[in-house]
Amino acid sequence: MATVTLKGDAARTVGELPDIGSRAPDFELVGKGLEDMTLSDFRGFTVLMNIFPSLDTPVCAMSVRRFNSESAGLPGVRVLCISADLPFAHGRFCETEGIENVVNLSSFRSPDFGMDYGVSIMDGPLRGLLARAVIVVDPDGMVVYRQLVPEISSEPDYEQVLSFLGNR
């Protein structure tokens, strides 16, 4: 179990992020068109998972915008933006914001995702949503980078993850 904060108040997650060097758990999440998508669908690509509580918060929306703009310069990388928001909200957000370089996925039918990745928030006002994290999975399905953002209302360390991807 990990502890993150929301504006200084502690909130626990169900577990820990997957270990570096471990096989990333497969998942079945929902795409914008209500189609099921799995991690296996992205085999052969480096996958950057931008995991966050909700698109309806400024920091989460900012992370999607930032990874959308940065991903154009990352050949062979697929960016998955994952939250519990309904696929319809993901679709509206992408259309309104002109988001085209990321794949938005919803965990609303897949509580196992948050459990398997250790990001389901167990207590506090965001209980049931996903903690803010970035996980990178290599083309063979192995976890090669992980970042649990300690303060949910803070952005991920973009420079660190982008530097990591640039050095691969």
Whole-number Cα distances in Å, 73 to 31, 129, 159: 23, 30, 14
Which of 48, 55, 60, 79 is catalytic? The answer is 60
Residues 68-79, buried b or exposed e (16+ Cβ, 10 A)?
bebbeebeebbb
Cα separation, 107 vs 67, whole angstroms: 19
3-state secondary structure of 71: helix
Nearest to 39 by CA among 21, 26, 22, 30: 26
Catalytic residue list contains 60: yes
Q: What three-state secondary structure class fits 157?
A: coil
Question: If you ran DSSP here, which 8-state letter would residue 13 be given?
Answer: B
Supply the residues annotated as catalytic: 60
